[in-house]
Amino acid sequence: MAAITTHALVKEYPGGVRGVDGVDIAIADGEFFALLGPSGCGKTTLLRSIAGLETITEGQLLIGDRDVTRLEPGQRGVAMVFQDYALFPHMDVADNIAYPLKIRRQPRSARRGVASEVGDGLSLTGLMERRPGQLSGGQQQRVALARAVATRPEVLLLDEPLSNLDARLRLEARTFLKELQRELAVTTVFVTHDQAEALALADRIAVMSAGKLIQVGTPREVFAKPATTFVAGFIGSTPMNLLAARVEGGQVRLGSAVVPMPLDAVGAVTDGAEVVWGARPEYLGWSTTAVEGGVEAEVTVVENLGASVLVTAVAGADRLQLVLGEDDEPAPGSRGWVTVPPRRTLLFDAESGRRLDAERAREDAVAVDVAP
Amino acid sequence: MAGLGRFGAGAFVAPALALIGLFLVFPALWTIYLGMTDYRLTGLQAVDPSFVGLDNYEQILGDPAFWRSLRLTLVFVLASGIVGQSLLGFAIAWALRRLTGWLKSVVETLVLAAWVIPASVASFLWIALLDRRGGTLNEILGTQGTAWLIEHPMAMIIIFNIWVGTAFSMLLFSSALASVPPSQLESARMAGASGWQQLRDVVIPNIRGHILTNTLLITLWTFNTFTPYLVTAGGPNGASEILAVYIYNTAIPGGQLGVGAAISLIMLLINLVIALGYLRVGRARAARPAEATAAETAGGAATS
């Protein structure tokens, strides 16, 4: 078990494209850590750099106290599960699981012993003689996991661990993965483009874009206090409402409506500043009577989400989306007021896209922040 | 045969069958017949050959020159085909895998050039290279007067044939290597496997079918090749007379068409045995579909 630390890690491809661009990250021992971002953001490159499958161009990578920047993958104490599982089709399950032990020249009897022990722990009992082609997707994934943990690695890397499973199996596997990680208490880093997966599994999430870390935080922090409008738009199953606004007399003007100043931003903005106002659909409410600080709007679309509905309402030129309980479902075409809890709304700088936060502004004044 | 009927279908196949019959089956049968006559290129028997039964076969099997030729052919096939072309072709394909850009193109073009150059031109190039007086090789090594083709005829035609034929193995193995999933190789690397261990545990098991196909084709082609004749003409004194050259030397310069036909039939039988042997191995390996297809393709090529 070991922590992972990187210092100004850079992976530059021939031609000057930077897959990973100056990443500083500190992953704690035993942590379940997610690298999240849209495709092409460098998350997989970062994972592969930790694995040793990509040579690091600049910077430093530490696993535990060891500098492993220039070590071969096999010498890093790292195991990886690939997106397609990468099982060897010509070996049976036991040989697949015990393959790393074969490389370490352990005798066959010891290998079979470890394979069946690890396999039992991952409910693969009775499948030891099968070939990978005879297994279901979920079983194949568990074989790949078993192969990865058979050598008790210090770090476990998972590349898109759930993307090759069908939707129903995915939820099951998600819970299973989280359980397994807790049980093994192995430092685990996984890559995903699915924000729901990252929120559900990880202890902490790093959101990446264009090879850089945009925000690192717990799922709650990333969800409730996104660092930038990019993170705000990326996290959440329904994207955050982000509207152009202006600060006026300690309040926020959205078109013709005026909403209260978000609590976080109090003291961080000056009058007349151009800002982006953000509010998660789940935190907005609906009222059929006029409300102080509400936004008068007309309902255009109502989408059923099961126990809740996603309502799209238009206020002047602005579109707002809100998630309401099934009992509060308004009729399309009806008018009303969107209620805005100031505790749950956010302001972002219109130019840089960074969240405006009185507390953070004070921190920034002390330490020069290098993140974009 | 829905819609077409037995007759209609037969009509469509008939032209192909007629051509195969005319150019493949008939000559084969004619060879069998010739092999049992004393047909000669010139003289009385050229006009009026007589049936001699199995006399030709008796003569061949009792002739030390035939056995020497067969032995030389086996050496030739093993050294230039199975070991030389296959291993070198695989080695080049493996090395090219990581190479990119102009260097890769240059190597590929050079190897392919050797393959596409007409045999007559290629053999002339090699004669010019190995010539006793003024040959390029002697110039380079400073060994004027060394007659490579006379002193080491077998070694020279083996190297020549490797040079000519490696491109095929390289191409076949290049595409085979491209079909090996990179994640499997990376998995092995993560486990700490060395380059050789990756080759043994991942690459070779993944391309077994391709190896079988390649070996079958290379064996048959090398066994039947006549091109070395253009370099050494089987000489000196039969020292590089592989079977195809032996047949030619017996039938045309030697004038014994009947005996030549008989040796041809023996050669055909050896070919069949080789092809059936490989097919058996292919079937015994039971059977991933891709490999079965590859083996069938190879079998088809072998009998044509």
What is the average pLDDT score of chain B?
A: 86
% residues pLDDT > 70 (chain A): 96
What's the first-to-final CA gap in chain B, in angstroms?
Answer: 26
CB A74 to CB B191 under 8 A?
A: yes
What's the pLDDT at B297?
Answer: 39
What's the pLDDT at A372?
Answer: 41
Nearest to B75 by CA among B240, B271, B250: B240
What's the whole-number mean pLDDT along residues B282-293? 54
Residues of chain A with CATH 2.40.50.140: 231-366
Regarding predicted confidence, which is higher, B37 or B282?
B37
What's the whole-number mean pLDDT along residues B37-46? 81
Contact A316, A323 (CB under 8 A): no
Q: What band does B225 get if pLDDT is binned at 50, 70 and 90? A: very high
Chain A CB contacts of B192 below 8 Å: 72-75, 100, 103-104
Helix count and strand count (H, E) for chain B: 19, 0
- Which tens digit of pLDDT belongs to each residue from B243-269? 999 999 988 888 888 889 999 999 999
% residues pLDDT > 90 (chain B): 47
Q: Among residues 68-107 of chain B, which lie with CB inside 8 Å of chain A?
A: none
CA distances to A95, A138, B140 from B186, in Å: 17, 21, 44
Topology of domain A4-226, CATH? Rossmann fold (3.40.50)
What's the pLDDT at A92?
Answer: 92
Quick check: A368 pLDDT over 50?
no
What's the pLDDT at A366?
Answer: 54
Could you give the number of structural domains in chain B? Answer: 1
Q: Which domain holds residue B92?
A: 71-246+276-303
Element (H, E) at A35: strand A32-36
CA of B187: which chain A residue's CA is closest?
A86
What's the pLDDT at B2?
Answer: 64
The residues pairing with A208 across neighbouring beta strands, listed in sequence order, are A213
- Which tens digit of pLDDT belongs to each residue from A299-324? 999 999 988 999 999 998 899 999 99
What's the whole-number mean pLDDT along residues A101-125? 90
From the list A52, A86, A103, the residue facing B183 with the nearest CB is A86
What's the pLDDT at A170?
Answer: 87
What is the average pLDDT score of chain A?
A: 90
Q: Among residues 76-105 of chain A, which lie with CB inside 8 Å of chain B?
A: 78-80, 82-90, 99-100, 102-104
What's the pLDDT at B70?
Answer: 93
- Which tens digit of pLDDT belongs to each residue from A330-339? 999 999 999 9
What's the pLDDT at A362?
Answer: 64
Measure the CA–CA gap between A301 and A329, rounded to whole angstroms: 11
What's the whole-number mean pLDDT along residues A245-251? 90
**ipTM associated with this complex:** 0.82
Contact A81, A180 (CB under 8 A): no
What's the pLDDT at B286?
Answer: 53
What's the whole-number mean pLDDT along residues B173-200? 92
What's the pLDDT at A141?
Answer: 92
Contact A184, A30 (CB under 8 A): no
CB A74 to CB B201 under 8 A?
A: no
What's the pLDDT at B295?
Answer: 37
CATH of domain A231-366: 2.40.50.140
Residue B31 is assigned to a structural domain of this protein: no
Q: What band does A1 get if pLDDT is binned at 50, 70 and 90? A: low
Query: Does B287 contact chain A (CB < 8 Å)?
Result: no
- Which tens digit of pLDDT belongs to each residue from B122-142? 999 999 999 888 888 988 888
- Which tens digit of pLDDT belongs to each residue from B273-285? 998 988 888 787 6
**Which CATH number goes with the domain that contains B132?**
1.10.3720.10
Residues of chain A with CATH 3.40.50.300: 4-226
Burial class (CB in 10 A: 0-12, 13-18, 19+), A195: buried
From the list B186, B191, B205, the residue facing A99 with the nearest CB is B191
Quick check: A367 pLDDT over 80?
no
CA of B201: which chain A residue's CA is closest?
A88
